[in-house]
Structure 1
Amino acid sequence: MYLELSDADTRKVVAEVFYSGKADRMSFTAYEEDLPLEAVELLIERGKQLLSPTIEEVP
């Protein structure tokens, strides 16, 4: 599963967060330089929220 960040003007993907369930790890890839830090932080945070598996506790 992955989440992409695209440039609003060109619609080109500039970064992505990828979660591998098989490897149980998340990775970040930037395809452009000089991305705004706020955008990178938001992408990573949203990736953690949306892509990471949730573990339900059993009472």
Structure 2
Amino acid sequence: MTAEFKGQVYTYLVGSDVSRDGMYLELGSGSDGANTIAEIFYSDITHEMTVTLYKPDLPLEVLEWAISEARDRLSVSKELNK
């Protein structure tokens, strides 16, 4: 999935992480998403979602979009979607 904000293209991919026992949404900048700027991880153990930022000054609108996509696409418990 791709989004554009103020001329910058952002993409994400969703994957499973067996070693951490959960799923993640990796946010990248550029049309190829090669530069990872954030990760949203959902733990199947704790049922919690965490955010790790790899780029300072990430626009709030972009982070909100990524979190919304993560809530829709990851195996998130219903309590997190309230």
Q: Identify the TM-score tier after normalising by the shorter chain.
A: 0.7 to 0.9
Which structure is richer in relative contact order (CA contacts within 8 A, separation 6 or more)?
Answer: 1
Question: How large is the Cα RMSD of the aligned pairs?
Answer: 1.6
Q: Which has the higher strand share?
A: 2
Cα offsets for 1:2-40 (capped at 9, x unmatched): 001101067210001100011111001101101111110
* Residues 16-55 of structure 1 mapped to structure 2, 5 A cutoff: 16-51=39-74, 52-53=76-77
Larger Cα-atom Rg:
1
Q: What is the TM-score when the length of structure 1 is the normalising length?
A: 0.80
Q: Which runs of 5+ in 2 are unaligned?
A: 1-22
Q: Aligned residue pairs: how many?
A: 54
Partners of 1:33 and 1:6 in 2: how far apart? 13
User: TM-score with structure 2 length normalisation?
Assistant: 0.59
Q: Runs of at least 4 residues of structure 1 off by over 4 A?
A: none
